[in-house]
Copies of this chain bind each other. A is one copy, B any other.
Amino acid sequence: MLSAVRHVDFWFDFSSPYSYIASEWIEAAAARHGRVVRWHAFLLGPVFRAAELRSPVDHPVKREYALRDFERSARFAGVPYRAPPKFPLPTQNAARVFWWLEQSDPARAARWAHAGLRAMFTREVDLSDAIALRRLAGECDVDPDLAEQAWNDPVWKQRLKDETDAALTAGIFGAPTVIVDGEMFWGNDRRAQIERWLESGPF
């Protein structure tokens, strides 16, 4: 008898530096413990508005620290990082393409998530720019015309809204959020706690 696949749920936003950093270790961490990552693209913007929160870079006193901490946290994790020249920027089109791909092939959607996050945070690719996003699709063996159709399609717009609502309903208020066995961990900086949980369960 095959045992059921055990998941690690990874909620991310394409414009979140800490989501990018965590995306680079979450799969290996899950795999070490026989788990599979289930990726969930959502939008922080509506979540922040609903929760009366702001991005750290939108706080005058936090902004400088946050920009420095993104880079330092990436170096600490051994992950390449180049600060996007425009930041933050709207990435809903990338997220809609994610859900379009996810419907037929979750692994392909996960590759798209990696490609989008790496483009944004290591190559200065502007994910809000249609031409850049079409080019990125091409690099990922995704048809650029179909990708553009998807991000303009009300079906995938609605799906992203629904997923963002689902995040709010689940009590999510930031990204990345990792959920393991119903336990919620917010932030790339919960890595050690997540790894302990995966290793030996509740603590």
Contact = CB atoms under 8 A, between A and B. Distances in A.
Interface in A25-74: 50-53, 59-62, 64-65, 69, 72-73
A51 B59 CA distance: 7
Nearest to A75: B203
Contact of A186 (B51, B65, B171, B187): B65
A160 to B, nearest CB: 20
Q: Secondary structure at chain A's binding surface: helix, strand, loop or mixed?
A: helix
A171 B75 contact: no
Interface residues of A, number: 27
B173 A61 contact: yes
A62 to B, nearest CB: 6
Contacts of A65: 171, 173, 184, 186
Q: What 4 pairs between A and B have smallest CB-CB spacing? A: A189-B189, A51-B61, A61-B173, A76-B193
